[in-house]
Amino acid sequence: MGSTWGNRIKISVFGESHGPAIGVVIDGLPAGISIDESHIVKEMGRRAPGTQAGSTPRKEPDLPTVLSGLYNGKTTGTPLAMEILNTNTHSSDYDGFTVTPRPGHADYTARLRYKMNNDPRGGGHFSGRLTAPVLFAGAIAKQVLKAKCGAEVYGHIIRIGKVNAPSWEEEEMPVIPTEGNFPQENPSLASRMTAEIEAAKLENDSVGGIVEVMATGFPGGIGSPMWDTVESNFAQLMFGVPAVKGVSFGSGFEVASRRGSQNNDHLLFKDGKLRMSTNHGGGFEGGISNGMPILAQVAFKPTPSIGAEQDTVDLDAKENVKIQIKGRHDACIVPRALPVAEGCLALALLDAYMAKGELA
């Protein structure tokens, strides 16, 4: 029951990495929203492998086919279903991982959970490939959200390994890294980050990172305490991605080090408009949006598939063994994960925004 998420907007994700297809059903979209399919394709392209520094050389066109829910280019209001056929799979690369689980992957836990009945090829339903349908849903949500309330979602990378970049905490309208193939607006930091990835790659290793996502134009007063808030729902969505180990909002874990006098966002009228003096809260007080930019950070662990020999076990022989993972892997998934995180924020915002009518 775990691959279904949402309240007013429900998404139901399906598929295994090397099965016939992966996809998603999105239920609850408002009717009559024009969908720009080229935007969807562009968003999917941001996640596609082979286009970014350190990404796997696999070529996955990942072209989504819409099965329902669009008519004359607009949402019908009934479920929007999409599938991506799986091609170019090398299942033999994955033989044996049920017996000798790869460290850092779900091979062992999936075996336990499904009593060896899960599809292990390519990680099955636990594959990072399953973020493609999530991203698709997120790309739809971005368009619907913009059409309904004008809000837009952006993102950038704020850490790769040891290289940090500044948060957008102080920004009202950030410089968006739309150009180039690495989503960090500062060219010098982008270079250092890609170098960090290249260094890991050269050493048959991988590296983690942090993305930051932001929404501008999202109205205040949205969300319902305690657990139907954008914060709660975005966190729930993001932790559905196996590589995610942390989620925070506004100043995030940094708030723990502060005094209240430093951390409180103060209200003020500026040019006749109400706003906050700072955005340490990331756009929320009490879980309800306050009209400031929505700001969140998501930490991704380094790709567990690395070329070096690693320790693991043989679950049949019940002995400790070595494993060396072959195949094609990302040295860093963070650049490809960014549009997924943006899409998840759009989904959480849209889901919350849809309740606005309930309040009226």
Amino acid at 82: M
**88 sits near its own copies (criterion: CB under 8 A):** no
Q: What's the token pair of residue 283?
A: 């756009």
> How many Cβ atoms sit within 10 Å of the Cβ of residue 198?
15
- Which of 137, 185, 305, 347 lies at the binding interface for its own copies (CB under 8 A)? 305
Question: Considering the rule CB under 8 A, would residue 316 count as an interface residue with its own copies?
Answer: no
**Residue with smaller CB distance to its own copies, 140 or 179:** 140
Hey, what are 116's tokens? 């060896």
Q: Is 25 in the site for its own copies (CB under 8 A)?
A: yes
SS3 (DSSP) at 299:
strand
* Least distance CB 32 / its own copies (angstroms): 4
The smaller minimum CB distance to its own copies, of residues 77 and 217, is found at 77
Residue 250, both tokens: 């506004």
User: Based on CB atoms, which residue is closest to its own copies, 58 or 304?
Assistant: 304
Judged by CB under 8 A, does residue 212 bind its own copies?
A: no
Choose between 57 and 357: whose C-beta lies nearer to its own copies.
357
Task: Determine which residue in the list 13, 35, 137, 340 makes contact with its own copies, applying CB under 8 A.
Answer: 13
Greatest alpha-carbon span in the chain: 73
DSSP sequence for 17-49? TTSSEEEEEEE-PPTT-B--HHHHHHHHHHHST
In the complex, the smallest distance separating the C-beta of residue 281 from its own copies, rounded to whole angstroms, is 7
- Within residues 164-193, the interface with its own copies by CB under 8 A covers none
- Give, as ranges, the residues between 267 and 296 that touch its own copies (CB under 8 A): 267-269, 272, 274, 277, 280-282, 284-290
360 binds its own copies (CB under 8 A): yes
Sites for its own copies among residues 124-163 (CB under 8 A): 124-126, 130, 134, 159-162
183 touches 156 (CB < 8 A): yes
Site string for its own copies, 45-84 (x = CB under 8 A): --------------------xxxxx-x--xxxxxxxx-x-
Closer by beta carbon to its own copies, 78 or else 181:
78
Residue from 185, 190, 300, 346 binding its own copies (CB under 8 A): 300
Site residue total, its own copies (CB under 8 A): 158
- Return the H-helix or E-strand segment holding 75: strand 74-75
The footprint of its own copies on residues 90-119 (CB under 8 A) is 101, 103-110, 112-119
Selected range binding its own copies among 37-45, 90-98, 123-131, 165-173, rule: CB under 8 A: 123-131
The set of long-range contacts for 80-84, using a CB threshold of 8 Å and a minimum separation of 24, is 80/25, 80/26, 80/29, 80/140, 81/23, 81/24, 81/25, 81/26, 82/23, 82/24, 82/26, 82/133, 82/136, 83/21, 83/22, 83/23, 84/15, 84/21, 84/22, 84/23, 84/132, 84/133, 84/136
Nearest CA to 241 among 6, 18, 13?
A: 13
Amino acid at 10: K
Q: Which of 169, 212, 265, 342 binds its own copies (CB under 8 A)?
A: 265
3-state secondary structure of 145: helix
Q: Is 250 a residue that touches its own copies (CB under 8 A)?
A: yes
Which CB atom, from 179 or from 319, has the smaller least distance to its own copies?
319
Identity of the residue, 110 or 346, whose beta carbon is nearer to its own copies in the bound complex: 110
* Residue among 216 and 248 whose Cβ is closer to its own copies: 248
Closer residue to its own copies in complex, CB, 194/297 = 297
Residues 136 and 70 sit within 8 Å (Cβ to Cβ) = no
Report residue 92 as tokens.
């033999």
